[in-house]
Amino acid sequence: MNKKILFSFLLIFALSFTACEEYLDVQPGSGFTEAEVFRTEKDIQSAVAGVYTLMLAEDAYSNRVAFVFNMNTDVEMSGVATSTVNGNGSDIACYDPKPYWTTLNSTWNAMYKIINAANDVIEGIEGSDLYKADSKSGPSNIMQMYGEVKTLRAMVYLDIIRIWGDVVFRTKSSTGDENFAVGVTDRNKILEFLIDDLKTVEPFMKNASELDYGVERASRSFNQSLIGLLALTRGGWTLRPDEGNPASIGHMERGTNHEQYYDIAIQYLDKVIQGRQHDLKLSFSEFWVKQNNWESPVNDDVIFSIPMLKNSSGEYGYFVGIPILEGTHPYGGASGTLSLCGEYLYSFDNKDLRRDITCAPLSYDQNLNQLIRLDLARLAVGKWSKLSMKDPLGSTSAKGTGVNYSWMRFADVLLMYAEAVNERFGPREDAQECLRRVRRRAFAQSEWAVKVDNYVMSKSSPDAFFKAIMDERKWEFGGESKRKFDLARWNKFSEVIYNQYYKLLNWGRVANGAYVPGIDLVPGSIYYKNIPDPANSGRTILDIKGIDEILQARPAGYTELPFAVSWYALNNETLSYEPRNDIKWSFRGFINYNNASSVSPTDPLRYLCPYPSKVITDHRGAIQNHYGF
């Protein structure tokens, strides 16, 4: 699918927005009056395209927000092997970011450029003769675009809230003169406003099937889905500062009237489900092959997909995906920098079809032969692979894959609905059916009786069903950078990271012969050999043993790759057995080798980022950092 939604991104209106350089300075001189810019539907389309264009910035959704701001969890993981703070302050992965990290400032600015462009477009539409003349009795082109921009604005606000907590809140165009005395607004007040705002435009928006460019535009279903997510976020938990003590990490707190917001989530997520505009018809494998080939059917899993441009924006398949060395082949290189935790591979049921699509314990050399690549934090995200491309971009291509960022999927809606219903009413039949729908795609039909029906039926209590939702989202969305946000609103971040630290440490101990209660057998090593690729003469693929079943001895003809056995070893300096450095320090902002004995799984975990130093300076005391930053 061509990314035609950006057909007019070079028009003067779009370019006038990209000229902004300073935070909230959104009034560049374009030489046009508002009445001229918003005179026709085509003019408004150009203005809306300008908002999408800003979303493709590297500091926004083309790179940073999509996956750079990840934190180490039980899914995504970047190994941190030192207790020393990184010089550029980029230790966000181990919960130790610094205000002076320049990427924080550039992303803050990039996100507010989108918001301010959206504010300008909203005001422009409201002042236009076309908007005033619209009957507002149902969906129309004008009202769709009006709701579309409001929905995009709400999405961006949600993301910056999930990164920073309380943030500057603007819903009107800014002249720039008043910016530097502006403080932040309580995140719950922002979420409440956005929920109410989206409700007002939802009836006037169109379905993706009715829109040119389909799910690459914010549709009615996306509006409804986003209301559901905003409501779950408002009804969930969040890190709050301890008043009068900015040096404190803070505490987790749930907003008042959270039941009301779970009810809103149920109402609007149910609208998506009952609307039958989306489904899970494609297999999990087919879905990701189409994603890698720039295809997003309007009636399947994708509800909203941020439209990237080939050879220009987007790094799925490059930064996130299976690593590839450049060679004479037509696929170009891929860094595969974003990794999954090696232990995550073993959390799957062996018959779960998502496992081998999501988890890739390999890379490709310059001749496209498979190489083994599996360690604590070196498991590639297999969902994105340039080798899936039927029309590859060329041997010199790297970044700018043009593969879309699927911000909202129908599987997400099903699991959020199940979660919300369980929170209010327990594992009711409709919640169970949502979970079954996701699991049916994850297993062969011959396995449904046991892996779907019996499995879901066994989760008969609210606690057991909630744990099943936690697990299902873990397996469904691996590599999609959702886990950190889920853990926060569930108030499970501390518990999961605490348990993950000890799980990695204890796997290493057990693999080296220690007894740890509750852990009987771990994958100490895996074994592999290269065999001819039946689909590509002259290439080789890996035959790996030790994943479907844990082996204690090397099979004949296979090479051993130490796995968990390498996670706990003799330290030649201390002459004692210790966990490896990337276990010691990968979660260091919360739990690490030096403080583990004093950390509790109920202690607050600092998952929010600090406000950038420049933002604090520019706002002249109206904004200050908390949480010990």
Question: Any bridge partners for residue 240, and if so which?
Answer: 251
**What is the full DSSP assignment across 277-340?**
S----S-HHHHHHHHHTT---TTSSEEEEE---TTTS--BTTTBS--B---SSTT--B---SEE
Q: What is the pTM of this model?
A: 0.94
Within a domain: 104: no
Both tokens of 558, joined, read: 């296979």
Within a domain: 503: yes
From 119, 111, 120, 224, select the one nearest 162 (Cα to Cα): 111
Q: Is 312 left (phi over 0), alpha (psi -120 to 50) or beta?
A: alpha
Q: Phi and psi (nearest 5°) for 363? A: -140, 180
Helical axes 429-442 vs 462-476, angle rounded to 10°: 30
Within a domain: 504: yes
Query: Is-contact 104 610, C-beta < 8 A?
Result: yes
Within a domain: 441: no
Mean pLDDT computed over every residue of the chain = 92
Instruction: Give pLDDT tens digits for 246-278.
Output: 899 999 999 899 999 999 999 999 999 999 999
Question: Total structural domains in the chain?
Answer: 1
Instruction: Give pLDDT tens digits for 465-477.
Output: 999 999 999 999 9
3-state helix, strand, coil in the chain (%, to 5): 45, 10, 45
Please tell me the predicted confidence (pLDDT) of residue 180.
59
Q: How far apart are CA 319 and CA 306, in angstroms?
A: 17
Query: Is-contact 590 91, C-beta < 8 A?
Result: no
Within a domain: 444: no
Weakest-pLDDT range from 16-30, 258-272, 384-398, 481-495: 16-30
- Selected residue with higher pLDDT from 243 and 349: 349
Within a domain: 128: no
Within a domain: 552: no
Please tell me the predicted confidence (pLDDT) of residue 35.
62
Q: Which domain holds residue 500?
A: 492-519+566-598
Query: Is-contact 505 583, C-beta < 8 A?
Result: yes
From 434, 330, 446, 350, select the one nearest 392 (Cα to Cα): 330
From 405, 369, 313, 409, select the one nearest 528 (Cα to Cα): 369
Please tell me the predicted confidence (pLDDT) of residue 289.
98
Query: Is-contact 610 118, C-beta < 8 A?
Result: no
Both tokens of 75, joined, read: 């899914």
Query: Is-contact 391 310, C-beta < 8 A?
Result: no
- From the DSSP assignment, how many helices (H) and strands (E) are in the chain? 20, 14
